[in-house]
């Protein structure tokens, strides 16, 4: 079923509505939809390499706005019924501990989830549930999601279609390695200065 869904998503690259569908897919994926927008972004960018950065921008905007909806879902869910479910299962203390950590590392959590293959929607909903600062959430989302999509769009703009197999094969590994190096460099800078 996921393969058919993937093929359906990529099929939109062959239509004049590809950019609109890319925006909608990026929006939906950031709050509830299981298929990431990357395959459609890659297909659109390869079909029109000169428009690769435009597609990356469309994808970034859709993703950040969808993340805001995910934040709203988390905020409203916890207020409406989430707190009662947590209490019913006796997890109030555990959730409170997670909330403290999430609030302490809010920008890092959202930024890492926004750039890596970690499901971003989980972090957008958690950000709302834990009421992290909305401005921090939006900035971390905008930076990380833009970095992710502009990296893909930029590589295709520079190297053309021949980079597609490399992106599809190694993107997740490269994203995780880049994130680890980024976090390690900030930790190193913190202890050196």
Among 133, 115, 125, 139, residue whose Cα is nearest residue 33: 125
Per-residue model confidence (pLDDT) at position 65: 98
pLDDT tens-digit series, residues 54-87: 999 999 999 999 999 999 999 998 888 878 887 8
pLDDT tens-digit series, residues 97-127: 888 888 888 888 888 888 887 788 888 998 9
Q: Phi and psi at residue 32, in whole multiples of 5°?
A: -160, -20
pLDDT tens-digit series, residues 4-51: 766 777 788 888 899 999 999 999 999 888 788 988 898 899 888 899
- Which one is predicted more confidently, 130 or 165? 130
pTM, entire model: 0.81
Instruction: State yes or no: pLDDT of 152 exceeds 80.
Output: yes
pLDDT tens-digit series, residues 87-96: 887 878 888 8
Per-residue model confidence (pLDDT) at position 146: 95
Note the helical H segments in the chain.
Answer: 2-11, 18-29, 38-47, 52-77, 83-88, 92-104, 106-115, 120-129, 134-159, 164-192
- CB 62, CB 25: distance < 8 Å: yes
Per-residue model confidence (pLDDT) at position 163: 81
């Amino acid at each position: 079923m996921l393969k058919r869904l993937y093929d359906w998503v990529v099929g939109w690259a062959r239509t004049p509505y590809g950019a609109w569908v890319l925006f909608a897919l990026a929006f939906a994926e950031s709050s509830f939809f299981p298929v990431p927008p990357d395959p459609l972004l890659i297909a659109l960018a390869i079909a029109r390499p000169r428009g690769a950065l435009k597609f990356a921008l469309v994808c970034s905007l859709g993703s950040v706005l969808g993340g805001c909806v995910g934040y709203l879902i988390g905020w409203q869910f916890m207020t409406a019924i989430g707190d009662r479910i947590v209490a019913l299962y006796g997890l109030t203390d555990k959730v409170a501990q997670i909330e403290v950590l999430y609030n302490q590392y809010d920008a890092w959590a959202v930024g890492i989830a926004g750039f890596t293959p970690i499901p971003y929607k989980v972090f957008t909903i958690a950000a709302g549930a834990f009421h992290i600062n909305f401005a921090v959430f939006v900035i971390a989302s905008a930076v990380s999601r833009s970095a992710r999509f502009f990296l893909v769009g930029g590589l295709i703009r520079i190297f053309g279609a021949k980079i597609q197999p490399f992106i599809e094969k190694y993107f997740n590994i490269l994203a995780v390695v880049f994130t680890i190096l980024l976090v390690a460099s900030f930790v190193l800078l913190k202890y050196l200065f």
